[in-house]
Copies of this chain bind each other. A is one copy, B any other.
């Protein structure tokens, strides 16, 4: 059975996932209303994560405990096995492979579903036809500039809306199933 990849990401109304300098202050400043946007359910449903180096370094940069209980594969052309810090040995793995090869390898390990995170990783998995379900949360702000989720280089992808919810914080979370990929 093919690996089903899931995307779960927040963007500004103008489609940015971070400010130009990578800052997420516009996300962090949202009121904590205890809303469940589906993150816990997603983390339960997947066997692990695939993320980009930028996302990995951003999460490390938050300090504190490593937030993932499941295995994390980090896509990087520059980092290798020796770059995994001691406290993350056995939990984080570096790979220089492309999305299709990563998906095959994870399937062989018995993974059924992966959470793919980070702009370039998401675009790569979408372009390779590996994404099954996409959850986008729209944050009620126009940033004006920043790092985009979509960069104008990808293929057309037909989607079907599965669910959409608006939250008291003003976030709108919509989940789409990929129809043709």
A78 within 8 A of B: no
State whether B152 touches A126 (Cβ < 8 A). no
CB distance from A138 to the nearest CB of B (A): 7
Chain B residues, Cβ within 8 Å of A161: 140, 166, 170-172
Across the interface, name the chain B residue whose C-beta is closest to A163.
Answer: B166
For the complex, give the distance between the alpha carbons of A148 and B15 in Å.
10
Q: Mark A129-172, 1 if CB is under 8 A from B, else 0.
A: 00000101010111111101110111111111101101000111
Chain A interface, number of residues (Cβ within 8 angstroms): 35
Asked whether B172 lies within 8 Å of A172 as measured between CB atoms, the reply is yes
Whether A174 is near chain B, meaning CB under 8 Å from some CB there, is: yes
Is A176 an interface position by the 8 A CB rule?
yes
This protein's copies in its complex: 2
Interchain CA distance A176-B141 in the complex, whole Å? 9
Cα A171 to Cα B144 with chains together (Å): 24
A93 at the interface (CB under 8 A from B): no
Contact status B159-A170, CB under 8 Å: yes
> A100: CB under 8 A from chain B?
no
Residues of B within 8 A of A88 (CB): none
